[in-house]
Structure formats: C-alpha cells, structure tokens
Amino acid sequence: MSELKLTSVLNMSGDYSGIRRTIRALSEQTVRNQIEVVVIATRAHLSSIDHSELAVFGASQVVDVESLTTGAYGWAEGCRRAQAPIVVISEDHGFPAPNWAETLIDAHASGDYYAVCPALENGNPATLTSWANFLLSFLPYFSPDQPHEVEAAAGHNTSYNRAALMADYGAELDRWLNPERVLHFDLRARGKRILLDSRTSVAHVNLSLIPSYLAISYAGGRVFGSSRALNWGWGKRLIYTAAFPLVPLIRLKRLLEALNTPQKRQKSRFWPALPLILVGLGCHALGEAVGYLLGAGDIARKYTEYELHRREYVTEADRALLTVSADARDESATRQPAAA
C-alpha cells in the first residue's frame, strides 16, 4: 500500500450523483494511490454512495453528519479526520486536472508554504454570467504565468499543511473557513507563505443564472464583511462602511491590472461581461457594508445553498456539465495509476 500524501475533503449535501464527477476527476489523478478521499455526507443520503468508486484511492472515509449547516462545517470536520499530511478542500463543482494532486504534493515538499492553491479555469465558459461570477471570485488565480506567492488563495480549492492547520486553527476551523479568505489574511499577518502554483488547475463551474449571481455576490460580501469585522470596534466598522462605494472602483482597477493582455481579456470575455461585472461588484460591496454593521444574519445559510447545491443555480446546459451517469465509467477511472 502506498503512503498517503494528500487528503481531499468533499461535502456531499445531496445524493452521490452530486459528487460523482468530482470523484471521477480525482480518480484520474496520476498519484491516486497516494490520495485519501473524505466524503462528508448527510445521513439521509449515505445509502446512495458508490463505494466501488471510492475503492480506487489509497484510502477513503465517509463521515456522516445530521446536516450540513455550512460548507465550512463539513470541510472542517473532514480536515480533522484526514490521515495525510496535506489536506485539500474540494468542491462538487470543481474538477482538478490529472496532475493536480502530484503538483500540490510537490509544492508542499519543501515545507516553505503553509498553503498552496492551483490555478482556476472557468468550467462553464458559455455564458457571460458565468464569466462575471468567475472573475469576481477567482481573478487572481486565472491563467497565471508562473508559480508565485499570493496574499490569499482560492477559496474552497486550497491545500494546507494539515499539522500546522490543526495546531493553529483546529478548535475553531469552521469559523476560520467561513469565509476562507479571512483565514488567509490571518496567515499572511502571521508571516506564513501561500503559493499559487500555475503548473496545475481546477475547472470551476460558476453560477450562470443572473438572479443567483447577483444574490451570491451580495451574500458573499456580507459573509466576508461580518467575518472580517468580527473583532473590530465600532469606529473602524463605520469607517469601512462609509468607504464601501470606493470598493467597486478599487476592484475594477485590479481586474484591469490582472487582465493585462488582449489575450486574457478576450479569453475571459471581459468587455462583453463588463456590465454584469459592475453590478456584481456593487452587490458585493453593499453586502460587505451591511456585514460590517449588522453581521451575517441568516445570509450564511443562503450562501451555503449556492455553494452546496450548485446544480440549482446554473443553466440547464451547465447542469449537464456537473453530472455524469453511474454507467458512464471512463477508462481513466478504472486504469491503474502511475507508479509513485
């Protein structure tokens, strides 16, 4: 049996069909025999799990919970149960390239980095709404030229040194992962290093229905604002709230700086998507301001809905991208992995 080197933690909020495509992508990894998969499943759907598909990995666990109140709750529980020295937060709508696990393992090998994330690509590029959602969420990780350090990694797609993560945040990991960007800010404030590794990528399926895109932009802003301001006094909260109209302008400037070649702007359909981008920026900034003043309220529950039930908030064509039938077993899902 090969030594486990990486654990992928995956929430399963519905039945197994919701995570099957991600499991298939993980089964195509060049070092799948070094991977442990931890599935966090609600008890109502345990019987739907296809254990034969989990058997191809070096190890697997199914952790049953009564309900998934937030994605962070499930991911935190999976990180605690993980057996490998590297733990990765995975999503049912994110599909890693075949060299993903091997590359992350290699990047962590030096011990220089607390966290490593892959590049992100748009997994459903047909609609402008998807591009707007993708650029607002993952712009810094889109088509990077080379590996480099970043201030924050891609939310829900980042790998960590598990021992360090548990020692520093284990007891309150659910809170620090909601949203994950706050955790990354804390890491950087403590002098920890985060790497964006351009040698591999994850294809991420984004919201592609306009109402859902605008709603998650507001919800994401409010969750971020409330978490960021958790330990702030009222003076600082009021200052940041008053400045919220400037946030869309600052983020738009960063968008233009990041999309610094005609090729990147064309690939991302930036100019056609710009009206949707601007509205999304406004919704997110408003959400931040409300979060600074009033906290998250019940918005975290709705944000969880968008993250854990992605198939309900995309077009019919994009829904097909998230689904693979039980009978459509790719040759790659049954072949033996490369030798370690």
Predicted confidence (pLDDT) per residue in 284-294, tens digit: 999 999 999 99
264-296 CB burial, b ≥16 within 10 A, e <16 = eeebbbbeebeebbebbbbbbbbbbbbbbeebb
Q: Please state, as a whole number, how many other Cβ atoms lie within 10 Å of the Cβ of residue 200.
A: 20
Cα–Cα dist 162/75, whole Å: 12
Is the pTM of the predicted complex or chain greater than 0.85? yes
CB 141 within 8 A of CB 91: no
Cα–Cα dist 32/24, whole Å: 11
331 phi/psi in degrees, rounded to 5: -55, -35
Contacts of 334 (CB under 8 A, 6+ apart): 56
The predicted structure's pLDDT at residue 127: 98
Q: For the segment 229-278, what is each residue's pLDDT rounded down to a tens digit?
A: 999 999 999 999 999 999 999 999 999 999 989 999 999 999 999 999 99
What tens-digit pLDDT sequence spans the chain (340 residues)? Answer: 579 999 999 999 999 999 999 999 999 999 999 999 999 999 999 999 999 999 999 999 999 999 898 899 999 999 999 999 999 999 999 999 999 999 999 999 999 999 999 999 999 999 999 999 999 999 999 999 999 999 999 999 999 999 999 999 999 999 999 889 999 999 999 999 999 999 999 999 999 999 999 999 999 999 999 999 999 999 999 999 999 999 999 999 999 999 989 999 999 999 999 999 999 999 999 999 999 999 999 888 888 899 999 999 999 999 999 998 787 655 444 444 443 3
Q: Could you tell me the domains of the chain? A: 6-125+140-206 (3.90.550.10), 210-321 (no CATH)
Strand locations in the chain (E): 6-12, 35-42, 59-65, 86-90, 94-96, 115-122, 148-149, 159-161, 194-204
